[in-house]
Amino acid sequence: MNHLCQESPLYDGECLARSNAPDLDSYDHILVAFSGGKDSMACLLHLLELGVSRKRLELWHHRIDGADGALMDWPVTEDYCSTIAAHFCLPIFFSWKEGGFEREMLRDRSPTAPIHFEAPDGLHTIGGLGPQGTRQKFPQVSGNLAVRWCSAYLKIDVAAAAIRNDPRFVGKRTLVVTGERAEESPGRAKYATFEAHKADRRAGKALRHVDHWRPVHAWAEAEVWDIIRRHKVNPHPAYWLGFGRVSCMKCIFGSPNQWASIRAIDPDGLRAIAQYEEIFGVTIHRTQSVTDRANQGQPYPMVSSKWRDIAMRKRYSEPVFLDHWEYPDGAFGESVGPT
């Protein structure tokens, strides 16, 4: 942990008025779903500007590929998130479905895998005994989470299960903070800014009060970059490469330019996805393979820069703060990603 954590305040600027925020001091725990992307970064920085105490704040990151997989996500993301947490003197807890995206996708008359989640008292494991099911194909490119199972099974349900199964949340008030923005898609525009979280049991026997707040829901992309610029935070390497959103590296929503960029950055990775499309006989996109999509696009100009190696490493060793902050290539660029 950063030695400054012992004494430094979380934020040494002037704290903002909290008129549009829930009563943040009323919560025992504030959990920020932290992907490493700009919107979750904006949530974190906004909470700091609102003067939230470090003692109640923690970052949660869901490992899309599980503990050891490498099919979907940027190799650097996990360490980027850990590095950010350390520099802001905050704990970060990882959670994941065993085997990640790949195991869930390959289910063949088998139950969904157990969930692992970190907590202050160590690693917990739950589930793995559910009904048998078969997928044998990629999630569908849809706003409907029932068929776009990756968001639900690998993130939303993992977070809810971790909250339900960690006794430290019983009898407490917890706020879950996520970074969806209305501007991203018509589906996200319909999300409530504030509501009871799906793990809430305020009326149940266990008495677990859990709220869900989306503080940047109404923000424009310019406001998101503005708060990152104000704090001089170095954005995730994918933005420097030209990606407009940082989700899974090989997100099923990828555009032709993104698939072309991925082929330039990680040809073996693209091949692995293409091979699964062939095995399943079903492509991610309804009518085109990822190879067709890549053939239609142009790699982003920065894919041959030093950021390619930085994004593909497991260790992040770039500066967290930039003296001379500038917009990365991906800012205000193609905004494709989960709807």
Sign of CA dihedral 301, 309, 270, 34: negative
Q: Quick one: tokens of 299? A: 């790699």
User: What residues contact residue 258 under an 8 Å CB cut-off, 6+ apart?
Assistant: 243, 251, 297, 334, 336
Q: With contact defined as beta carbons under 8 Å apart, do 7 and 22 qualify?
A: no
Distance CA 292, CA 284 (A): 11
Residue 115, CA distances (Å) to 20, 92, 168 in order: 35, 17, 18
Choose the binding region for ligand SF4 from 38-46, 110-118, 149-157, 220-228 (rule: CB under 6 A). 149-157
| Packing angle of the helix pair 256-265, 267-280 (nearest 10 deg) | 120
How many binding residues for ligand SF4 (CB under 6 A)?
Answer: 13
Choose the binding region for ligand SF4 from 92-100, 171-179, 211-219, 251-259 (rule: CB under 6 A). 251-259
CB of 150 to ligand SF4, least distance (A): 3
Choose the binding region for ligand SF4 from 113-121, 124-132, 145-153, 317-325 (rule: CB under 6 A). 145-153
Strand partners, 57: 30
CB of 153 to ligand SF4, least distance (A): 9
Residue 43 or 64 having the CB closest to ligand SF4: 64
Q: With contact defined as beta carbons under 8 Å apart, do 51 and 80 qualify?
A: no
Contact string 52-91 vs ligand SF4 (x = CB under 6 A)? ------------x-------x-------------------
CB of 72 to ligand SF4, least distance (A): 6
Distance CA 129, CA 67 (A): 20
Q: Quick one: tokens of 177? A: 């903070």
Residue 271 or 306 having the CB closest to ligand SF4: 271
Strand partners, 58: 31
Angle in degrees, CA 19, 21, 22, rounded to 5: 115
Choose the binding region for ligand SF4 from 175-183, 199-207, 246-254, 291-299 (rule: CB under 6 A). 246-254
Tell me if 253 contacts ligand SF4 by CB under 6 A: yes
Contact residue for ligand SF4 among 52, 59, 89, 154 (CB under 6 A): 154
Residue 57 or 158 having the CB closest to ligand SF4: 158
- Pairing of β 29-33 and β 173-177: parallel
Residue 52 or 139 having the CB closest to ligand SF4: 139
Contact residue for ligand SF4 among 77, 112, 151, 261 (CB under 6 A): 151
